[in-house]
Structure 1
Amino acid sequence: MSARCIMVLGTSSGAGKSWLATALCRWYANQGWKVAPFKAQNMSNNARVVATPGGEYGEIGSAQYFQALAARTVPDVRMNPLLLKPEADTKSQVVLLGRVERELSALPWRGRSERVWPQIAEALDALRAENDVVVIEGAGSPAEINLAASDVVNMRVARHADARCLLVADIDRGGAFAHLYGTWALLPEDERARIAGFVLNKFRGDAALLAPAPQLLQEYTGVPVVATIPMQWRHGLPEEDGVFDERPSATGGEVHTRIAIVAYPRASNLDEFAPLRSIEGVRQGWARSPADLEGVDWIILPGTKATAADLRWLRDQGLDSAIARHAAAGGRVLGVCGGLQMLGEALIDTVGVDGNGPGLGLLPLVTSFEAEKTVRSTRARFGEVGGAWGALSQVEVLGYEIHHGQTAQHPAMAAAGDVARELIPGLAWQNAAGNVLGVYLHGLPENASVLQALFGGGAQTLDAAFERMAQGVDQWFDTRVLRL
């Protein structure tokens, strides 16, 4: 078997490649095909834990994890063989086939491509051998001519897979026809021939007003506009970049819970909080200043790829004092992974992973960083939880861990009688008052048991979102272009 391949390219980041690739995964699966997603290289701090062929655990980008679920298949490290996790503006941690590669992390960007291409090609070939259709997602734009010589994610992949390509533009930003034409024009002639259709995404208004632009664009390029997709404000798919909508969520009904998630520069795995945006009566927004925390019921400190640096940023904004005031007044605070580490007394780094520094002092804990990263899927049950988070008592949860730090009770504070209540051994603690909770487990809001305990109901399911997306493909596409 050698799967037929369709590739979703974009005129820019944020054009809608991940959304469309996910929709196509479910659409092809609904046609009865065995489908797998693939993205050669992803740059994101939103990652998921999946099993590796060797039976261990590894990381892939969240987008490919959700695409695998949409395709009704098991997520696999081969679906995103290269994951780059930004640690600073000019530095990324390199994850190859699920595992951190320190040697590759130290190489310059252009020096990596020939080192990683054999593994990328092998992963793609293996998926093609096991499936009927592989839905491939590109990255950024295929016309980034400064990177063409070291490309391992766009047209080099398209050529290797002999893929039919769709080119997507975000028309809401303006200039979509110029973006489509310019991208097409910058490609070599043999690569232009792979573009089977243009897609206008995030359209608002009357599609009839687009004429005669689609016809003119086809005259200039020979490529038809095969779909105009309307703006999808609440499509139900977690966004790859996490902070995807600056507007506070508004699900209707009387608001009973106001949640602010602190959006520090290296925040990670923000997609796990997407279910909160679809719960009736919950209003969720992002916080970057003390003003954003006024009047909220919950403050969430999410994960981060750089705990010490993001903690310094948080202090520079004055958010530390605002969080402390909120906690002192009895307001709920939830720290996840790096957010848990921030809630403690201190960060200790003797191996050069993250950095040293004082914590926020809201939990009597201390975190020590280790060279080896903990990556695993975890099922656990909360013990007896007190105070504001008491509804979580005895709730069973499934989540995942991705962290270098190991956290424990601060020994001197324990000797003085200040002891955090350990709710899950080595994974979850709360303060004596019961309103500050820290957990290492990612994915709590994705558990129906957690949403039922905290809100009395659940969010819309991912599977329902995938089905709506597949129905949209039938509605908005000239599906002849999708027949492989």
Structure 2
Amino acid sequence: MKNKEKLKPLMFVGTGSDVGKSVINAAFCRIFLQDGYHPAPFKAQNMSLNSYASAEGLELGRAQAVQAEACGIPCLSAMNPILLKPTSQRKAQVVLNGKPVGDQTAREYFLKTDREFLFAEAMKAWKTLDDRYNPIVMEGAGSISEVNLWDKDITNMRVSLETGAPTILIADIDRGGVFGSVYGTIQLLPEAERRLIKGILINKFRGDISLFEEGRKTLEELTGVPVIGVVPYFSDIHIEQEDSVVIDYKRGHVKDGQVNVAVVLLRHMSNFTDFNTLERMPDVNLYYSANPEEIAKADIVLVPGSKNTISDLMYLRKQGLAKAIIQAAEAGKGVYGICGGYQIMGQEIHDPNQVEGEVESIPGLGLLPVITTLTKEKRTVQTAFQFADRDEACSGYEIHMGTTELQDGQPLCRLRDGSSDGCMVSPKLWGTYLHGVLDNKVVVEEIMKACQLEAKAVAFDYNEFKETQYDKLADHIRGHVDMDYVYSVMKED
């Protein structure tokens, strides 16, 4: 039975990017669920190449989908009404309420879009959630002390002000400068916003926390805001990450005695969470690489999704990676493509409407007998399917702009609606539009069998693993945060 007591929404903001807001938000989502509430996440504006398809057939940032999972509820586009997906260093696709509305440069987005309209849309989305869930666990973006962007803010303290949310400031002590970043951030805020900062949370602490007790008191004296917790750094709790900065820690090379799986590191790679299941298998060494030699050494090569397929295909050729992928296939190794990777492995890619740029046609790697035409319309859908000749029910999702036609060969998957997906040349060579395909045990079993690798590594239930990790995360945060105080600020008038 869900707790009927209405709580104020809770907002997490940061002294900077990558301080741990998304993971902390997920922890509180699970804590509130455990305590009998019916929580939901919210982030007004997000920037990420790692997105997800909701059951409504709409798109949102992966972090909010993960947080919804921690809440025990299906994700909705309202949880992330504005999503920016970079297509180059200067441009991004703008996704509003789950649907793309065009590409813009950063200058165009910040200076020419109607900020009041975007904020109003974000607040409409928030209201739909607040009417259904309790509490709303909100997340800001980047740093709240970017004074040059305050008049354009639609995701940080303006949301706190609009919703009356008590706000927790998160700082990453691991990167250093925590006193200056916390004090400076709070002091820069206008008085109305400063009053909403109800607590400071120090994240990623290494070593003996008792040694920071004096530091805690100093911060409270400097800012007049209580330090509600000091959370130790952890590496044994695994929560899906959204920011591709985590890939820097996943670059690697082959290891003896393991199944070596190389993910080709594209410049515009999207949805790297497609490989989380393989990464967690004890017998698998999964690594990301843009080194042709490391690709050539792998047992299995995975070509991931891309937000700019043609640009990444040109990059593969320039770096010698295209040749390495082709040679891996010719050597009889497992080579598989997902979404943009599927398009790249085909015979041709056409872009008559210049969706991705000025190049209207380019030959693919020629590994799969398919031709892709990029389109302005985006397909965003969750789907059930059956893989190859197996009867087991599988699940995945599609997020792509383009249609792909088989010229030969056979489809890879049978979809629930009776249609088909993908192309299989052999069990060692196929491509699919289905993100999450590797989260299905049957698919990994078939890959291991085809490549004559040890299949014992697939004895792993990823969904059960994720649930365990959410609970571990919640326990970790409970043990180091003053939850009584958090509840008190969410209940006060």
Normalising by the residue count of structure 1, what TM-score does the alignment of the two structures yield?
A: 0.90
Deviations 1:375-421 (A, max 9, x none): 1111111233xxxxxxxx444321111111111134xxxxxxxx333
Secondary structure class of the residue paired with 1:216: helix
Question: Aligned AA for 1:67?
Answer: Q
Aligned to 2:378: 373
Q: Does 1:5 pair with 2:9?
A: yes
Deviations 1:115-145 (A, max 9, x none): 2111111111222222221100000011111
Match of 1:402 among 378, 399, 403: 399
Secondary structure class of the residue paired with 1:84: strand
Question: Aligned AA for 1:273?
Answer: F
Offset of residue 10 of structure 1: 1.1
RMSD: 2.2
Secondary structure class of the residue paired with 2:355: coil
Match of 1:48 among 26, 40, 52: 52
Contact 1:227/1:477 (8 A) holds in 2: yes
Offset of residue 104 of structure 1: 7.5
Gaps of 5+ in 2: 414-418, 449-456
C-alpha distance in structure 1 between counterparts of 2:176 and 2:445, whole Å = 42
C-alpha distance in structure 2 between counterparts of 1:254 and 1:75, whole Å = 40
Aligned to 2:423: 429
Match of 1:227 among 226, 229, 240: 229
Secondary structure class of the residue paired with 1:201: strand
Offset of residue 480 of structure 1: 2.4
Written as runs of structure 1 = structure 2, the 5 A alignment for 1:182-221 is 182-221=184-223
C-alpha distance in structure 2 between counterparts of 1:13 and 1:370, whole Å = 33
Residues 90, 155 of structure 1: alpha-carbon distance in 2 compared, 3 angstrom cutoff: same
Match of 1:359 among 334, 355, 364: 364
C-alpha distance in structure 2 between counterparts of 1:294 and 1:174, whole Å = 39
Match of 1:269 among 247, 266, 271: 271
Match of 2:474 among 470, 475, 484: 470
Residues 99, 110 of structure 1: alpha-carbon distance in 2 compared, 3 angstrom cutoff: same
Gaps of 5+ in 1: 385-392, 411-418
Match of 2:121 among 105, 112, 119: 119
Secondary structure class of the residue paired with 1:465: helix
C-alpha distance in structure 2 between counterparts of 1:428 and 1:311, whole Å = 19
Secondary structure class of the residue paired with 1:24: helix
Aligned to 2:454: none
Residues 243, 298 of structure 1: alpha-carbon distance in 2 compared, 3 angstrom cutoff: farther
Match of 1:330 among 329, 332, 337: 332
Contact 2:375/2:402 (8 A) holds in 1: yes
Contact 1:254/1:281 (8 A) holds in 2: no
Secondary structure class of the residue paired with 2:375: strand
C-alpha distance in structure 2 between counterparts of 1:140 and 1:468, whole Å = 26
Aligned to 1:416: none
Question: Aligned AA for 1:140?
Answer: G
Deviations 1:306-326 (A, max 9, x none): 000111122222111111221
Offset of residue 23 of structure 1: 0.4
Contact 1:345/1:358 (8 A) holds in 2: yes
C-alpha distance in structure 1 between counterparts of 2:394 and 2:240, whole Å = 20
Offset of residue 108 of structure 1: 3.0
Secondary structure class of the residue paired with 2:412: strand
Aligned to 1:69: 69
Aligned residues: 461
Deviations 1:213-271 (A, max 9, x none): 22111111011222222222242211012451544599xx9843111112212111112
Question: Aligned AA for 2:370?
Answer: L
